[in-house]
Amino acid sequence: MTIRFAVLAALLLFALTAKAETPLNFAVLDQQARQLPRLHSLLISQNGEMIFERYYQGRSANQPANLKSASKSIMSALIGIAIDKGYINSVDQPLSDFFPEYLDSELQAVVTDITVENLLTMQSGLASTSGRNYGRWVVKQDWVEGALEMPMVAEPGTDMIYSTGSTHLLSALLERASGMNSKTFAQRYLADPLDFRMAYWSQDPQGIYFGGNDMEMRPRDMLAIGRLFINGGQHEGEQIISRRWVADSLMARAESPRGEGRFYGYGWWLRDMAGLQVPLAWGYGGQLMFILPEFDMVIVATSDSTPGDTRRGHLGRLYDLVEYQIIAPLLEDHL
């Protein structure tokens, strides 16, 4: 299935970017977006130009959104930058290089066997700190140790086990490797080159920035990061993230147990949408960033993330909006 999507994308790559005019009906798109009471923003950039930008429910362009778990995709980008700059040797480094204090403890095998790549792909083998375990994990005084102490339920590098603790470990090891806190690192090497300021980002009880959640960012800044990935990690002639890291991040590496046609790369989801395998950043409640290199397009959506009966229905309707009102018309126009 993955090969079919890859072949389709390769065959369309040149043809899909050739047309300057878009087949999208913006009036219908806006009308349907307004039917989603939880939707806060919907932005589309194509060929480097903003072609659609709407804010709903009283939101404005300058209001940051809590990315929730879409923070994981940004965290992955920071790890890629750290490797590019030599702070981290490679994705094959074991956690023991960053947390040597656990070598003489019962966690020795954990930090020795798990690599940076295992965290990026959600294949650490450790039981999840997300879902029903999330509340018990975040009340701990030491989130790093709490994540490492989870039971080992699979061999590292095998099963995908979605866990916010894995990306929090990435933030912790980034801080140790670089000598900077993760927010300072992100501002210096990602936000400054893209000309925006990092907004609020929560920290754990030890002061480590939350690697898997609670990063805030304006939708336009999310779009800028999406454009960076579309452009192979380059912005205005400067290579912010290596082209190889961008390609490696958006490659399907682990199959999700959540459903057929869903995969995971380095902090990015890949989802079957209208016959294409689309890379996306996903956050609780409907914080989404879609990367469509076939169309030189980035789509960003932010939403109300407060719990409620309509949350799951909203996410499904939002996916449908993107798939059937944006991606499908683009495909139909070029086939």
Dist CA 322 CA 325 (whole Å):
6
User: What is the pLDDT, as a whole number, of residue 123?
Assistant: 99
Dist CA 289 CA 19 (whole Å):
23
Residue 46 has pLDDT above 60, yes or no: yes
Q: Which tens digit of pLDDT belongs to each residue from 292-318?
A: 999 999 999 999 998 876 677 999 999
DSSP H helical segments within the chain, as ranges?
A: 2-16, 26-33, 71-84, 108-113, 116-120, 134-138, 143-148, 164-178, 182-186, 192-194, 219-230, 243-249, 311-322, 328-334
* 292 and 311 share one domain: yes
* 179 and 269 share one domain: no
* pLDDT confidence tier of residue 334, bands split at 50, 70 and 90: confident
For residue 242, what is the DSSP state? -
Q: Which tens digit of pLDDT belongs to each residue from 104-158?
A: 999 999 999 999 999 999 999 999 999 999 999 999 999 999 999 999 999 999 9
* 32 and 91 share one domain: no
Of 42, 62, 59, residue with least CA distance to 300: 42
Dist CA 191 CA 228 (whole Å):
11
User: What is the pLDDT, as a whole number, of residue 11?
Assistant: 40
Positive/negative CA dihedral, 60, 66, 72, 77: positive
* 207 and 248 share one domain: no
Count up the domains in the chain and report the number.
Answer: 2
Domain end, chosen from 195, 217, 239, is at 217
User: What is the pLDDT, as a whole number, of residue 259?
Assistant: 72
pTM, two decimal places: 0.92
* 100 and 11 share one domain: no
Contact between 92 and 84 (Cβ < 8 Å): no
* 201 and 326 share one domain: no
Comparing 310 with 288, the larger pLDDT belongs to 288
Tokens of 65: 């959104």
Comparing 86 with 19, the larger pLDDT belongs to 86
Domain end, chosen from 173, 196, 217, is at 217
Residue 197 has pLDDT above 70, yes or no: yes
Dist CA 246 CA 231 (whole Å):
9
Contact between 315 and 286 (Cβ < 8 Å): yes
Share of the chain above pLDDT 90, in %: 88
* 150 and 267 share one domain: no
Domain that holds residue 204: 68-217
Tokens of 156: 């590292």
* 120 and 213 share one domain: yes
Residue 184 has pLDDT above 70, yes or no: yes
User: What is the pLDDT, as a whole number, of residue 4?
Assistant: 44
For residue 188, what is the DSSP state? I
Taking residues 73-81, what's their average pLDDT? Answer: 99
User: What is the pLDDT, as a whole number, of residue 312?
Assistant: 72
User: What is the pLDDT, as a whole number, of residue 309?
Assistant: 64
User: What is the pLDDT, as a whole number, of residue 96?
Assistant: 98
Residue 273 sits in a domain whose CATH number is: 3.40.710.10
DSSP H helical segments within 21-70, as ranges?
A: 26-33
* 209 and 225 share one domain: no
User: What is the pLDDT, as a whole number, of residue 69?
Assistant: 98
User: What is the pLDDT, as a whole number, of residue 244?
Assistant: 98
User: What is the pLDDT, as a whole number, of residue 307?
Assistant: 81
Domain end, chosen from 180, 195, 217, is at 217
User: What is the pLDDT, as a whole number, of residue 15?
Assistant: 40
* Percentage helix, strand, coil for the chain under 3-state DSSP, each rounded to 5: 45, 20, 40
Dist CA 45 CA 227 (whole Å):
8
* pLDDT confidence tier of residue 260, bands split at 50, 70 and 90: confident
* 150 and 90 share one domain: yes
* 34 and 72 share one domain: no
Residue 6 has pLDDT above 60, yes or no: no
Dist CA 209 CA 218 (whole Å):
18
Residue 186 has pLDDT above 90, yes or no: yes
User: What is the pLDDT, as a whole number, of residue 3?
Assistant: 43
User: What is the pLDDT, as a whole number, of residue 193?
Assistant: 98
Comparing 46 with 259, the larger pLDDT belongs to 46
Contact between 170 and 211 (Cβ < 8 Å): yes
* 257 and 144 share one domain: no
Taking residues 54-63, what's their average pLDDT? Answer: 98
Positive/negative CA dihedral, 44, 312, 274, 242: positive
Q: Which tens digit of pLDDT belongs to each residue from 10-36?
A: 444 434 443 447 799 999 999 999 999
Contacts of residue 246, Cβ cutoff 8 Å, sequence gap at least 6: 80, 229, 232, 233
User: What is the pLDDT, as a whole number, of residue 16?
Assistant: 44
